[in-house]
């Protein structure tokens, strides 16, 4: 049951919250009273129970401001189909254990801090990335000035490979702050295919994308292009940057015309000995520490890491 403070505030704010709920449900059919009630019971109740018992007292106004933001976040989570049986344990961990401890010393900044953390979690590539992210967050418990750097670093380690370059820059400025996150040879953190989390080189070939018929992104056989920022893949009218390293693979859409000025991959043919089910490649793009291939048997782009280019 909600704490006495939370129950009192919910009754006092019932008209406002009901109006927000009706607007959200009118906009998105996925919003349900049952899900919002579960969010209050499983997320808000433990959060505010913890904060009302915090060693540093919060004012009623500070608690109420955070409650208003939390309710809005709950509606957004409901609209985005995040309130499901699979995510309740993760949300319970976030609101019941992580947030009460982390936010307690910062009543005046709690709403902003919560929003930044939650927005990053929702960008991660699947809920499987939440548990290690939250475990690392609890290891750091960053103070407000460190939050942006911590979010960037953990988002990268959580699979958002597009943040690799920026995260490494932050790490190099303050390596001691993040050393606990890199248990295996942190001096190798800049090497693309070394996993400091697992302590090994990532060498397994990867398949990127698929035909839309199979639930993928590609409407036509993909075409590869070189780019200084990241490799580019074009399929039909869509164009993506590819970001890849030991922690994740990401296709991010870019402007359709972006590939017109880039260098197209080498076309031809050759064997793909790393992929037993594919007879060979039809185009290839060689980068510093991995190779990309397209193949006539599949719409997928094949990525083959070359960690030997880093460790000899």
Among residues of the chain, what percentage have pLDDT more than 90? 55
Instruction: Domain ranges for the chain, please list them.
Output: 1-123, 124-181, 206-311
Given a cut of 50, is residue 186 above it in pLDDT?
Answer: yes
**Tokens (6 digits) for 280:** 């060979």
Closest CA to 284 of 274, 306, 297, 269: 269
- Distance, in Å, from the CA atom of 132 to the CA atom of 157, rounded to the nearest integer, reads 9
Q: How many CB atoms lie within 10 A of CB 302?
A: 20
DSSP per-residue string spanning 261-284:
GSEEPEEEEE--TT-TT---EEEE
Q: pTM here?
A: 0.88
Q: Is the dihedral of CA 277, 259, 269, 289 positive or negative?
A: negative
> Torsion over CA of 103, 140, 97 and 63, rounded to 10 degrees?
0
List, for residues 234-266, the tens digit of each pLDDT value: 998 899 999 999 999 999 998 877 666 676 777
List, for residues 54-89, the tens digit of each pLDDT value: 888 899 999 999 999 999 999 999 999 899 988 999
């Amino acid at each position: 049951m909600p704490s006495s403070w939370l129950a009192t505030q919910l009754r006092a704010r019932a008209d406002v919250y009901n109006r927000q709920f009706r607007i959200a449900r009118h906009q998105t059919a996925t919003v349900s009273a049952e899900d919002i009630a579960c969010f209050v019971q499983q997320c808000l109740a433990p959060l505010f129970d913890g904060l009302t018992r915090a060693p540093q007292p919060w004012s009623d106004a500070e608690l109420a401001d955070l409650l208003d933001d939390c309710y809005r976040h709950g509606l957004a989570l409901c609209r985005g189909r995040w309130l499901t049986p699979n995510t309740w344990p993760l949300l319970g961990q976030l609101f019941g254990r992580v947030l009460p401890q982390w936010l307690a010393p910062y009543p005046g900044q709690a709403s902003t801090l919560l929003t930044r953390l939650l927005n990053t979690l929702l960008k991660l590539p699947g809920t499987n990335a939440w548990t290690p992210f939250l475990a690392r967050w609890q290891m750091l418990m960053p103070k407000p000035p460190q939050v942006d750097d911590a979010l960037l670093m953990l988002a990268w380690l959580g699979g958002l490979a597009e943040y690799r370059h920026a995260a490494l820059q932050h790490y190099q400025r303050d390596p001691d702050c993040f050393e606990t996150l890199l248990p295996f040879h942190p001096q190798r953190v800049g090497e693309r295919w070394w996993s400091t989390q697992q302590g090994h080189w990532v060498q397994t070939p990867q398949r990127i994308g698929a035909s839309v018929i199979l639930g993928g992104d590609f409407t036509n056989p993909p075409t590869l292009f070189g780019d200084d920022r990241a490799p580019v893949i074009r399929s039909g009218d869509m164009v993506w940057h590819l970001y890849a390293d030991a922690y994740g693979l990401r296709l991010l859409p870019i402007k359709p015309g972006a590939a017109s000025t880039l260098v197209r991959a080498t076309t031809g043919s050759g064997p793909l000995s790393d992929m037993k089910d594919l007879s060979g490649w039809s185009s290839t793009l060689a980068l510093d520490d991995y190779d990309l291939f397209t193949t006539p048997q599949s719409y997928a782009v094949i990525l083959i890491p070359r960690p030997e280019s880093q460790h000899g």
